[in-house]
Amino acid sequence: MSRSIIGQEHILDRLIIGLLANGNLLVEGLPGLAKTRAVKALARNLEAEFSRVQFTPDLLPSDVTGTEVLYGEGGEQRFRFEPGPVFANIVLGDEINRAPAKVQAAMLEAMEERQVTVAGTTHRLPEVFMVMATQNPVEQEGTYPLPEAQMDRFLMHVYIDYPDEESETKIISLVRDEEAGKGPGGAAAEQAPIPQQVILDARKAIHGVKVSDSVQRYMVDLIFATRYPGRYSEELEKWLQVGASPRGGIGLDKSARVHAWLDGRGHVLPDDVRAVVHDVLRHRLILSYEANADGVSANDVIDGILEQVAVA
């Protein structure tokens, strides 16, 4: 994946964490920052089915989940379910905030329950399943802000920014090589895709990663600091209106264990928690009017919490 994505190593790392933690990702960034390219690179390197949904205001739930279609068989007519694009292993939901409420509700069921219900019948989604939804932070015309309940279903909210000058130079060379038919990074041939069973085995191995009582207490303290910021400082209390839900603590535990496993360790360190806490919590916090007026972001609030909360 790194051969075809340059200057955005953060999103590659978060994609892998999301896949191994069996979670979904919300990615926010300006156009042209390799959001779509990154998830396509992930699907290309796995034995996985990839689908892309371009969300628009006129989209219907059946356009995503699938629908019952009337067929004629043996002189008889009967309905048969035709799966929609959500029935894939890696699903890219482009500009999900342009989807109307009914479509967002259908996506919420798919992301949380790993199933869809059409005409009263429930259909299970694949065991290896991940939604990477994107948002454009600039163009807000014709958008429907995601409700807090749906935001909470995302394991991480990843924000990506412009690459640096050196990376930009490499990107131009990479695209030039690809247009000349040399493949990602000028490689002559790509490696064979990774079987899905490898992902499932990795998830089982991650279940064995240990979390000590002190690290678990540290994660709980971070979550509770978002709910009761007045225990730590008046400034945090002024900035925070609503803190993280229990899903935030679960997501922090899952992501920290995956981060430790990818680092080759069988136990979680406080550094693993701090490495993922911004992506896990930034979309679960509701900031106050004072914070917005002062130009304080969710990242600033999380930085303040990390300064105040100590490891037990």
- Checking if the pLDDT of 289 tops 50, the result is yes
- 170 and 35 assigned to the same domain: yes
Give me Rg for the CA atoms of the chain: 21
- 133 and 46 assigned to the same domain: yes
- 160 and 257 assigned to the same domain: no
Query: Which of 168, 184, 200 is where one domain is finished?
Result: 184
Q: What percent of the chain has pLDDT over 70?
A: 94
- Dist. CA 49–CA 40, nearest whole Å: 10
- 131 and 20 assigned to the same domain: yes
- 28 and 176 assigned to the same domain: yes
Average the pLDDT over 112-137 and give the result.
85
> Tokens 């000028």 label which residue?
186
3-class DSSP state for residue 258? helix
This prediction's pTM: 0.85
In-domain check, residue 203: no
In-domain check, residue 134: yes
In-domain check, residue 200: no
> Can you give the CATH number for the domain in which 38 is found?
3.40.50.300
> Between the CA of residue 143 and those of 58, 97, 100, 101, 251, what are the distances in Å?
11, 5, 8, 11, 27
In-domain check, residue 290: yes
Q: What is the pLDDT of residue 2?
A: 76
Domain that holds residue 262: 208-308
- 174 and 219 assigned to the same domain: no
- Dist. CA 117–CA 110, nearest whole Å: 9
Burial class of residue 166 (count of CB atoms within 10 Å of its CB; 0-12, 13-18, 19+): exposed
At position 149, the amino acid (one-letter code) is A
In-domain check, residue 139: yes
**How many domains, in total, are found in the chain?**
2
Q: What is the pLDDT of residue 197?
A: 92
Lookup: tokens for 124:
């299970």
- 256 and 150 assigned to the same domain: no
In-domain check, residue 190: no
- 91 and 213 assigned to the same domain: no
- 165 and 227 assigned to the same domain: no
Rounded-to-10 torsion of CA 193, 9, 17, 183: -10
- 258 and 297 assigned to the same domain: yes
3-class DSSP state for residue 307? helix
In-domain check, residue 273: yes
Q: What is the pLDDT of residue 190?
A: 62
pLDDT in tens, 184-238: 544 444 678 889 999 999 999 999 999 999 999 999 999 999 999 888 888 888 8
In-domain check, residue 202: no
Contact 62, 117 (CB under 8 A): no
What is the average pLDDT value for the chain, to the nearest integer? 85
> Can you give the CATH number for the domain in which 226 is found?
1.10.8.80
- 212 and 180 assigned to the same domain: no
* Banded model confidence at residue 143, pLDDT cuts 50, 70, 90: low
* Banded model confidence at residue 254, pLDDT cuts 50, 70, 90: very high
- 151 and 28 assigned to the same domain: yes
pLDDT in tens, 66-109: 888 887 777 778 888 888 899 999 999 888 888 888 888 888 88
